[in-house]
Structure 1
Amino acid sequence: MELRQLRYFVAIVDHGSLSRAALVLHVAQPALTQQLRQLEEELGAQLLHRSAHGVLSTEAGKVFYEHAQAILKQVVDARSAVTQLTTRPSGSVTLGLPHSISGALALPLLTAARTTYPEITLQLTEEISGSLTEQLKSGRLNLAVLFDDGQLGGFESTPLVEEDLMYICRAASSWVPPAAPVTLGAALVSPLILPAQQHGVRPLIEQAAASAGLALSNIIEINSIAILKSALLADMGATLLPLAPLRAEIESGALVATPVHPPIQRRVTLCASRNIPLTNAATAISRLVRQVTEMLCENEQWSGARLHE
């Protein structure tokens, strides 16, 4: 198996056509077809379905595509790491952010990266926590901000901040608690709009409920912060989330946030793979994430976040 075969295969999938991939790669289509055939023979599996309208990945092709992308990215990172030994950090760094963190961290980090490291191209991807974990393991991400649920032993991790989950609902809703703080049992009386199981906050809520001998029953599952926000404003129920992703609506008075007792806390952590060395550029961005986080907490721009001691 050769790197060019991986590049060819990724290009074919990305462009959905052998002919379009051949044009982009400046490779004759028969040569491209031959390399693809050799790759399939070596793997012992058909990777693509071919038709007059283009190509589609088989199940084996989808799996191989993810690995091919990760391998090609690591080759680029290795080349950049060597080059950066004698130059300022440069190259591309991919950082994954959970939906509920990106609103607080993404823009300040992008601004700081452009100012401090203009030679670095910082690529941000926003996903649910479970997806970020898999991408970091496979090498498709250099860094990821994850929630410490006790399952991060396979990563190099640096705690950033701690956040309390708040009971949040529409102002003047029937779900607004009569007093603060609200107990978890009282919070569970209302329909709760929560992310699905693979999201970082959901296991914390499930664990807190189990410890109190309670069960989550009336749940509306929504993984999108934007849709979850719309559901809250439509008074479909309440949620248990940190302040940051709903800061604007809380400050405007459209939503109200009430502390929960006993508190449910989540720890936000910056993670990297233990098996794939960071480039100088990724190391620089890792330092910058910590610096920007400290600045946001000191200036109270990351609502409800406390620097981890």
Structure 2
Amino acid sequence: MELRTLRAFVEVVRRGGFSKAGKVVLATQSTISKAVRQLEEEVGVPLLDRIGHRSKLTTAGEIVYRRAVKILLERDDLISELDELRGLKCRVLKLGLPPIGSGILFAKLFAIYRKRYPGVDIRLVECGCERLEEVMLSGEIELAASLLPELESFEWQDVKREPLTVLLPIGHKLSQCRSVELPALRELPLILFDTGFALNRAILDACRRHSFEPRIAARSSQIDFIVELAAAGMGAAFLPRMIAEQRKHLPIAQVPLDEAGTDWHIAMIWRRGAYLSHAARAWLDLVACTRGENHSGED
């Protein structure tokens, strides 16, 4: 079993087709197709169920894909570690940041890092935390800021913990409360972030702990749009306290959420056991050194 055939197969699955995979690995579509067939002959079972111009993984294909990704990641880690040992230091930082909170937490750090390490090419990926975790496990990024994930697959370094604030239209019966428990919002529609944002998971899991499934009024990836929807009376929205406090000038009520297990706990994460380049370790060191200097609120 050769690495080239494993990589061809993995890219076919990732890119959703043979021609797109060929562009990634700089090979013709026929070469990619031949490599996948060779892999199928080696394992003795079909890996892709070909339906017209589309393909989907068979049960065996899912197993091979999962193992192949790990093998290729180990190979990449090995090459990176040996390159740095030989003095060919990594000049790229592949970093993932979520839309929620990155401006407050990382904009200044980004500028400091750029000034200290001008030769490092920072390749930034921006999406929700759940998607960032997927991208990291595929090896496309080295580090990501994410809500604290399941620790089985990741190692992590703490950045910030903040309670959530409920956003309500001014004049709502709960808007004058000192705090709000989640069951009090049972009859109120919720405004959530788009699919892929881990903050949704914390809210929905808490609702289920209280034995109710909330009505979803709207979803968006834009913080300010979510705030405006809540102000317009569409429902209740949720933001980490420090982000909500930046919007105190807006006509909206902000009430602390009194609900265990819903804190916004952001951390830098990386694949468990992965080799971290000097560029990545320098970023983690900078985050650790500045933690608490530029942030408000309790950890």
Common fold: TM-score over 0.5: yes
Contact 1:89/1:120 (8 A) holds in 2: no
Residue 275 of structure 2: SS of its match in structure 1?
Answer: coil
Residue 257 of structure 2: SS of its match in structure 1?
Answer: strand
Unaligned runs of 5+ in 2: none
Q: Which residue of 2 aligns with 1:5?
A: 5
Cα deviation digits, residues 209-229 of structure 1 (max 9, x gap)? 84xxx4444431766432644
Cα distance, 1:163 vs structure 2: 0.2
Structure 1 position 102 matched with structure 2 position 102:
yes
Q: Which residue of 2 aligns with 1:58?
A: 56
> In the aligned structure 2, how far is the partner of 1:22 from the partner of 1:129?
29
Cα distance, 1:25 vs structure 2: 5.6
> What pairs up with 1:272-287 in 2 under 5 angstroms?
272-287=270-285
Unaligned runs of 5+ in 1: none
The verdict on how the C-alpha distance between 1:148 and 1:222 changes in structure 2, with shifts beyond 3 A counting, is farther
TM-score (norm: length of structure 2): 0.72
> In the aligned structure 2, how far is the partner of 1:208 from the partner of 1:246?
21
Cα deviation digits, residues 236-259 of structure 1 (max 9, x gap)? 1012321355565x1441433222
> In the aligned structure 2, how far is the partner of 1:180 from the partner of 1:204?
20
Cα distance, 1:166 vs structure 2: 0.6
The verdict on how the C-alpha distance between 1:95 and 1:244 changes in structure 2, with shifts beyond 3 A counting, is farther
> In the aligned structure 1, how far is the partner of 2:251 from the partner of 2:56?
47
Cα deviation digits, residues 81-119 of structure 1 (max 9, x gap)? 222236485243333334433343454444333322233
The verdict on how the C-alpha distance between 1:64 and 1:291 changes in structure 2, with shifts beyond 3 A counting, is farther
Q: Which residue of 2 aligns with 1:258?
A: 255
Residue 58 of structure 1: SS of its match in structure 2?
Answer: strand
The verdict on how the C-alpha distance between 1:289 and 1:72 changes in structure 2, with shifts beyond 3 A counting, is farther
> In the aligned structure 2, how far is the partner of 1:163 from the partner of 1:234?
26
The verdict on how the C-alpha distance between 1:191 and 1:12 changes in structure 2, with shifts beyond 3 A counting, is closer
Q: Between the two proteins, what is the percent identity of the paired residues?
A: 26
Paired residues, number: 291
> In the aligned structure 2, how far is the partner of 1:197 from the partner of 1:25?
28
> In the aligned structure 2, how far is the partner of 1:216 from the partner of 1:15?
37
Residue 78 of structure 1: SS of its match in structure 2?
Answer: helix
Cα distance, 1:294 vs structure 2: 3.7
The residue type equivalent to 1:82 in the other structure is: L
The verdict on how the C-alpha distance between 1:183 and 1:77 changes in structure 2, with shifts beyond 3 A counting, is same
> In the aligned structure 2, how far is the partner of 1:129 from the partner of 1:282?
19
Residue 296 of structure 1: SS of its match in structure 2?
Answer: coil
Cα distance, 1:136 vs structure 2: 4.2
Residue 145 of structure 1: SS of its match in structure 2?
Answer: strand
TM-score (norm: length of structure 1): 0.70
> In the aligned structure 2, how far is the partner of 1:127 from the partner of 1:269?
15
> In the aligned structure 2, how far is the partner of 1:256 from the partner of 1:279?
45
RMSD: 4.1
Contact 1:89/1:119 (8 A) holds in 2: no
Contact 1:193/1:237 (8 A) holds in 2: yes
> In the aligned structure 2, how far is the partner of 1:221 from the partner of 1:88?
52
